[in-house]
Structure 1
Amino acid sequence: MRKKIIAIGALAVAASLVLAGCTSRGADSGGGSAAPSGGSGKTVRVAFVPKLQGIPYFEAMNTGGKKAASELGFEWLYQGPTTADAAAQADIVRSYIQQGVDVLIVAPNDPDSMAPLLKEAADAGIKVATSDTDAPASVREVFVNQASVDGIGQGLTDALVESMGGKGKYAIVSCGETAANLNAWIAVQKAYTASKYPGVEIVDVVYAGEDQAMATSMATDLMNAHPDLTGLVGECTSSAPGVAQAVRDAGKIGKVFTVGLGTPQSMKDYLTDGSSSASILWNVENLGYLTGWAGVQLAAGKTFSATNNVSTDLPAVEYISAEKQLLLGPALRITKDNVDQFNY
């Protein structure tokens, strides 16, 4: 039976606060006017645990999840660690298991250590999934994937090499060493660079965690260690602005080129002054919406179609059954010319 939820106005205010950059250290929840219910008649609760709470990327996912909750009518719970720490994230996951949420969706900092907890949740009758970052060796029922691995890795490489003039040396500043999505993209970049761009060499890959200041420091060290370096990739939303800041600080705009996976507004100034050539990303709010929608389907015991009409913004989301993946769509190239199309 569908129930009416009164707090739509409050949710709209909460969502606008997230868009304005406000964050909460507790679990945010969202609901809609008509709530899906389980056999007991209770509103479905979908919990999402990001890698890190309080950064623009995951707050944008939270906004999308809240929008889905408002439109589809379920309770959206959101809480992540305040540092990109696998143990802290595991504590939050355990808390949601103890609360008995209906669906638990995680973007794991460490997929291998998260797998046993997802099994524990599943054994407790909770539907489990991953989003943004996968735990492929776990019992997760679906991975909500932002874009194809090849699309992201090749998109980063093409954008950087174009700015480098088709030749030179570059380095990668990644984030978590165990992040499955980042490592998969880096593998594509290595193979694609070697096969398509024989005049280009990757000289190093370093890991800064989810720490922008550390990414800036490491990028500076890379430029000092390799005076002939002409490119840097920031592999996540904290290292993308980090490497651009390093180039700006070194006075090497136009000499060392950078691209990365940065959220649009965090990259705007760098795109404008040329310290970053492009950001390769996707619509992060739509990823959050798709995550919430997927949770509702799991809670209802529904199977995904080969093509899914999720919303007016997501009319044809592909489901890859062999890999149990929902694919948001192709990666986007964000530049100074289109950055203002995105408000996060």
Structure 2
Amino acid sequence: MKHRLGMAAAAGATCLALAVAGCAGGNGGGSSSGAGGGTADGTSVSVAFVPKIQGIPFFEAMNTGGADAAEEFGFNWVYSGPNTADPAAQSEVVRSLMQQKVDALLIAPNDPDSMAPLITEAQDQGIKVGTADTDASSSSREVFVTQATEEAIGTALLEQMAEPIDGEGQIAIVSCGQTAANLNAWIEVFKDKAATDYPDMEIVDTVYADEDQAKAVTMAKNLINAYPDLKGLVGVCTTSAPGVAQAVQESGKTGEIATVGVGTPQAMLPYLEDGSASSSVLWDVENLGYLTAWAGWKLAQGESFEATQDVGRIPGVTYDEASQTLVMGEPLILTEENAGDYDY
């Protein structure tokens, strides 16, 4: 059975008119869905999520999961983000949601450092604030909702890269935003473990393509041309993962240069099937959105998290009180055999 991408509460979905942009404006607009009230006294709880960029499959799948949680637990879900992965544009969206006085605000920050003061400002207005997918660890956020630990994701990427190249040879990394805390953490784990576990693997370069697949393709082709002995490419985000595979395919290097990355199932499936991608490291993205929305709902009601809890359809979610982090589970390895089971 396929995991679907579609608004669970599509019948109730409406366009959110932002102060800074309408549905066709420069900051992407958004959607609002879910059941009515959520608190004991009957007042309505509104939980908003601001992705790094709106319109790419990863964050649209998170939106689907968030809408599912809103329908199940009974609160209002708002999804709105910028049209480009631009910190300033994202901050405009956050400020608009602050003006609308949402109860809880979850953010996947493009630039954690520049977002930190805005998080404090929102909290000063009585809004509960957390991060999801990407942390702003130096901020005053009240929870970080993550798909898996940095160690688990970085290690999985390394092992998936090492397998097709027998743990040796030149490889390069194509990431997205240079200030994206989650991507940088995964890369750090990857490099540290590669140095000890695969001393014959040489990381020749790390480049940044923002959230732009076409740019990732160009950068990957440049790396292929610059390093004739290149054996592997790693795409560390959901636009660069298909980008590096596309570059290998279009360069006629399928079977010569292996690629792995953090890519969504449908984006990666053609490349997994033709061999220009070996595998993809991911997780159930809809469930990440579901957990994000639920966490915001709990924050808005002043409720705490347990060390281990089943959250609706997600079993065994863990919470680390010291770091205020909710962890969904372990990474999922996508191959040509299972990527078709998902429709996002």
User: Could you report, residue by residue, the CA deviation over 1:209-267 in whole angstroms, capped at 9, with x for unpaired residues?
Assistant: 00000000000000111000000000100000000000000000010000000000110
Shift of 1:56: 0.3
User: Could you report, residue by residue, the CA deviation over 1:180-208 in whole angstroms, capped at 9, with x for unpaired residues?
Assistant: 00000000010011110111111100000
- Which letter maps to 1:207? Y
In structure 2, what is the equivalent of residue 101 of structure 1?
A: 102
1:316 partner SS: strand
Structure 2 residue ranges without an equivalent (≥5): 1-6, 14-22
- Which letter maps to 2:33? G
Alignment partner of 1:80 is 2:78: no
- Whether the aligned pair in 1 keeps the contact of 2:8 and 2:67 (CA below 8 Å) is no
Q: In structure 1, what is the Cα distance between the partners aligned to 2:52 and 2:232? A: 27
The percentage of aligned residue pairs carrying the same residue is: 58
Q: Which of 35, 38, 58 is equivalent to 1:36?
A: 38
In structure 2, what is the equivalent of residue 11 of structure 1?
A: 9
2:161 partner SS: helix
- Whether the aligned pair in 1 keeps the contact of 2:134 and 2:146 (CA below 8 Å) is yes
Shift of 1:309: 1.5
User: Could you report, residue by residue, the CA deviation over 1:154-178 in whole angstroms, capped at 9, with x for unpaired residues?
Assistant: 1011001101122111000000000
1:68 partner SS: helix
In structure 2, what is the equivalent of residue 326 of structure 1?
A: 326
Q: In structure 2, what is the Cα distance between the partners aligned to 1:177 and 1:170? A: 19
Structure 1 residue ranges without an equivalent (≥5): 1-8, 16-22
- Whether the aligned pair in 2 keeps the contact of 1:172 and 1:234 (CA below 8 Å) is yes
Q: In structure 1, what is the Cα distance between the partners aligned to 2:266 and 2:44? A: 35
Q: In structure 1, what is the Cα distance between the partners aligned to 2:233 and 2:92? A: 35
- Which letter maps to 1:26? G
Q: TM-score, normalised by structure 1?
A: 0.92
Alignment partner of 1:170 is 2:168: no
- Which letter maps to 2:334? I
Q: In structure 1, what is the Cα distance between the partners aligned to 2:64 and 2:204? A: 38
User: Could you report, residue by residue, the CA deviation over 1:87-136 in whole angstroms, capped at 9, with x for unpaired residues?
Assistant: 00000000111111100110000000000000000000000000000000
Q: In structure 1, what is the Cα distance between the partners aligned to 2:166 and 2:8? A: 51
Give 1:114-193 correspondences, 5 Å limit. Answer: 114-193=115-194
Q: In structure 2, what is the Cα distance between the partners aligned to 1:198 and 1:240? A: 24
Alignment partner of 1:26 is 2:26: no
- Whether the aligned pair in 2 keeps the contact of 1:282 and 1:330 (CA below 8 Å) is yes
Say if 1:92 and 1:323 are closer, same or farther in 2 by CA, change over 3 A. same
The number of residue pairs the alignment matches comes to 326
Say if 1:13 and 1:266 are closer, same or farther in 2 by CA, change over 3 A. farther
1:268 partner SS: helix
Q: In structure 2, what is the Cα distance between the partners aligned to 1:10 and 1:252? A: 41
In structure 1, what is the equivalent of residue 3 of structure 2?
A: none
Q: In structure 1, what is the Cα distance between the partners aligned to 2:237 and 2:315? A: 27
Shift of 1:328: 0.8
In structure 2, what is the equivalent of residue 337 of structure 1?
A: 337
Instruction: Please provide the CA RMSD for this pair.
Output: 1.5
- Which letter maps to 2:289? G
Q: In structure 2, what is the Cα distance between the partners aligned to 1:14 and 1:167? A: 53
In structure 2, what is the equivalent of residue 5 of structure 1?
A: none
User: Could you report, residue by residue, the CA deviation over 1:63-98 in whole angstroms, capped at 9, with x for unpaired residues?
Assistant: 000000011110000000000000000000001111
Say if 1:185 and 1:245 are closer, same or farther in 2 by CA, change over 3 A. same
- Whether the aligned pair in 2 keeps the contact of 1:38 and 1:44 (CA below 8 Å) is no
- Whether the aligned pair in 2 keeps the contact of 1:38 and 1:299 (CA below 8 Å) is no
Say if 1:177 and 1:260 are closer, same or farther in 2 by CA, change over 3 A. same
In structure 1, what is the equivalent of residue 51 of structure 2?
A: 50
Shift of 1:38: 6.8
- Whether the aligned pair in 2 keeps the contact of 1:35 and 1:72 (CA below 8 Å) is no
Q: In structure 2, what is the Cα distance between the partners aligned to 1:93 and 1:249? A: 39
Alignment partner of 1:66 is 2:67: yes
- Which letter maps to 1:328? M
Alignment partner of 1:110 is 2:111: yes
2:172 partner SS: strand
Say if 1:128 and 1:38 are closer, same or farther in 2 by CA, change over 3 A. farther
